[in-house]
Structure 1
Amino acid sequence: MSSTILPLNYFFILLGLTLSVISIMSFRDQGNPRRIATGSFWALYAVVFLIGDLLLPLVAGIIVVAMALIAGLGGVSLGKYSQFTAEERHESAVKLGNRLLYPALIIPFTTMIGSVVFQKTKIGGMFLLDQKNFTLVSLGIGCILALIVACRFTGSTPVQAMREARRLIDSMGWAVVLPHMLAVLGLLFMDAGVGKAVANITTTYIPMDFKLVAVAVFCLGMTIFTMIMGNAFAAFPVMAGGVGVPILMGVFHGNPAIVAAIGMFSGYCGTLMTPMAANFNIVPAALLDLPDKNGVIKVQIMTALPLLVVNIALMYFLMNAF
């Protein structure tokens, strides 16, 4: 089996080093009233990326608990940042014009090209990209290229880029970590037997002999569990094991592809309505300095609810049509 020139671990290490620098900058920030706690939070997160695969489960658990305590006690706080004035930012934006968009466009473009064109590329008998994570590696390359182009266009330095990275990550705060923590929640729920519990409750107290009822329970369950977990991917194993596979596929012979696709889309309706989906709903509010941190969610609810009804109808009519 061929080895890989650019494994995903390289980018984990780079991210860990970035978080380490942010941690040091936080420790040194006299303008942050909670600089020790803030620096410690980012330092612990850096350890996860740098040597996470070498840590004993107990040590990893202690780190997670420590981070949760720091965040829960309000330890992650904003500091003082070296920023350009509003007039300087406006002048720079006018000068650069549409070129400001180039670094942002480089990221998806590089990700697409890397995933499609260079996925199987070999150099000296080794794959260029990590074969299990070629999309993520391409994304990492795109981010590095975007940083280089941004520094070239603006005349800034990597040091200023680190300052801006710290400002943004402090603005987002503990919400940055939430997707990472929620990523394994679905597996934990499955190991705890939540899927079997859902199956038992639904079959005992809900008339699942009716196709429409079964479809509605599955789609609503996907929405609700996604709101709890903040991630449709974490909710899917629970609802698929409890309702999707044994009832929609086993009893009503639904097409697995259609059940899975529309089920995930129903989960995304929950994503629109929960603060647990921090990277979608809380982070944008923080970055845009919205007065209402739940403002994004309030606007999206009027899209999510009708869309959920449409998903139920689509699954009811389409899951046996193909």
Structure 2
Amino acid sequence: MDLKFIQISATLGNNLLEAVWVIIGLITIYAGIKNLLDKENPARYGTAIFWCSFGIVCAFGTWLPAKVSGLLVIIMCIPPILKRVKSGKESGPTKEYTQKQYSKIGMKIFIPALTVAICSLLFALFTNISSMVGVTVGVIISMIILRAYSSDNKPAVFLNDSERFLSMMGPLCMLPQLLGALGGVFTAAGVGEVIAGLVENVVPKGNVNVGIIVFAIGMALFTMVMGNAFAAITVMTVGIGGPFVLAYGADPIVVGMLALTCGYCGTLCTPMAANFNIVPVAILNMKDRWGVIKNQVVVAGIMLVVQICYMIIFK
């Protein structure tokens, strides 16, 4: 049953999504300019080049020639390689101010965050518009709520805090986009067929259970390499899932669903999944940069075994 009650034309939906990327790009360019003008930043020129290049690609990549976008990506990668992307002057709220605001607002502080999640979910379930647009709408509503909470929350506060969090995460911000593109490159390059040729010498033909085990473990490992289960499943399904599991009558719904879950087990164990395992380290100022992964490895291993057993039973 189709739950999408609000149907928007594809053109309008694409325009809204492009508008979101323009907003993201402009905020990122602002981060570059702000760091360029920050004389306390020891690497302000490299930081500015990185954020401005990233912002131009995000905001105007749709209209730029492919070669120009590619050149900007190369330029963008040079400062992080040379370790010339750093945070400048800290402009976050003081601990005293935070405690004062909490005593005033209390647990209502979670309403804006919940608003973003609800808007994303509503857009995903009831419209044909990208949930990313829903997230943006949720952020705008949350800004209005936060403004109602305190008159201190002026537009400049939101803009500067956006830059502050971008600077805390640094070059890791570009990793999801690059890994997503890597999945497409691997698929186009025929990596799946190469994997199929290698697995063919190991997995007995017709043995679905062995095929499932290899497929599941391969999903976890390949996700660890790529940092993205959605990128990994395309390659692994072409290489292993299709010829060694689905071709022998396994339920594609069960296998596809659980293969992604196996991939998420790999997500828990890799620094390539920066949004999950590295960004929290930066935001929380954790001393052990591998602390998140270390606490997830055992859970990931148990989950992987459970998912393999589940897939074999209900295939």
Same-fold call, TM cutoff 0.5? yes
> 2:305 aligns to what?
309
> 1:113 aligns to what?
122
**Any stretches of 5+ residues in structure 1 without a counterpart?**
120-130
> 1:161 aligns to what?
158
Matched, 1:4 2:1: no
Q: 1:99 to 1:218 in 2, by over 3 A?
A: same
In 2, Cα distance between equivalents of 1:8 and 1:222 = 30
Alignment map for 1:54-133 (pairs within 5 Å) = 54-117=63-126, 119=127, 131=128, 133=129
**Any stretches of 5+ residues in structure 2 without a counterpart?**
1-7
Range 264-273 or range 69-78, more displaced: 69-78
Q: Is the 8 A contact 2:254 2:314 kept in 1?
A: yes
Aligned residue type for 2:120: T
Name the SS of the counterpart of 1:204 in structure 2.
Answer: coil
Please report how far the alpha carbon of residue 87 of structure 1 lies from its aligned counterpart in structure 2 after TM superposition. 1.4
Which of 147, 153, 174 pairs up with 2:143? 147
Cα deviation, 1:225-244, whole Å, max 9, x if unaligned, reads 00000000010011100111
> 2:314 aligns to what?
318
Which of 22, 25, 31 pairs up with 2:40? 31
Q: Is the 8 A contact 2:224 2:266 kept in 1?
A: yes
Name the SS of the counterpart of 1:78 in structure 2.
Answer: coil
> 2:255 aligns to what?
259
Range 227-236 or range 10-19, more displaced: 10-19
In 1, Cα distance between equivalents of 2:252 and 2:43 = 51
In 1, Cα distance between equivalents of 2:238 and 2:311 = 17
Cα deviation, 1:69-110, whole Å, max 9, x if unaligned, reads 211211210110223321122122222111211111110122
Please report how far the alpha carbon of residue 113 of structure 1 lies from its aligned counterpart in structure 2 after TM superposition. 3.0
Please report how far the alpha carbon of residue 161 of structure 1 lies from its aligned counterpart in structure 2 after TM superposition. 1.5
Cα deviation, 1:171-221, whole Å, max 9, x if unaligned, reads 111111100111121111111111001000000234354332211110010
Which of 208, 211, 233 pairs up with 1:211? 208
In 1, Cα distance between equivalents of 2:118 and 2:212 = 38
Range 217-226 or range 197-206, more displaced: 197-206
Q: Is the 8 A contact 2:120 2:135 kept in 1?
A: yes
Aligned residue type for 1:286: A
Matched, 1:16 2:13: no
Matched, 1:182 2:190: no
Q: Is the 8 A contact 1:81 1:163 kept in 2?
A: no
Aligned residue type for 2:258: I
In 2, Cα distance between equivalents of 1:46 and 1:74 = 19
Tell me the percent identity. 34
Cα RMSD for the two superposed structures: 1.6
In 2, Cα distance between equivalents of 1:17 and 1:212 = 50
Q: Is the 8 A contact 2:166 2:173 kept in 1?
A: yes
Please report how far the alpha carbon of residue 165 of structure 1 lies from its aligned counterpart in structure 2 after TM superposition. 1.2
Q: Is the 8 A contact 2:208 2:244 kept in 1?
A: no
In 2, Cα distance between equivalents of 1:314 and 1:163 = 47
Range 147-156 or range 223-232, more displaced: 147-156
Matched, 1:296 2:292: yes
Range 2-11 or range 79-88, more displaced: 2-11
Cα deviation, 1:128-161, whole Å, max 9, x if unaligned, reads xxx4x43221121111111222233132211111
> TM-score scaled by structure 2?
0.92
Alignment map for 1:280-295 (pairs within 5 Å) = 280-295=276-291
Q: Is the 8 A contact 2:27 2:163 kept in 1?
A: no
In 2, Cα distance between equivalents of 1:194 and 1:76 = 33
In 1, Cα distance between equivalents of 2:149 and 2:62 = 38
Range 153-162 or range 292-301, more displaced: 153-162
Aligned residue type for 1:213: V
In 2, Cα distance between equivalents of 1:23 and 1:170 = 10
> 1:122 aligns to what?
none
Aligned residue type for 1:26: N
Name the SS of the counterpart of 1:54 in structure 2.
Answer: coil
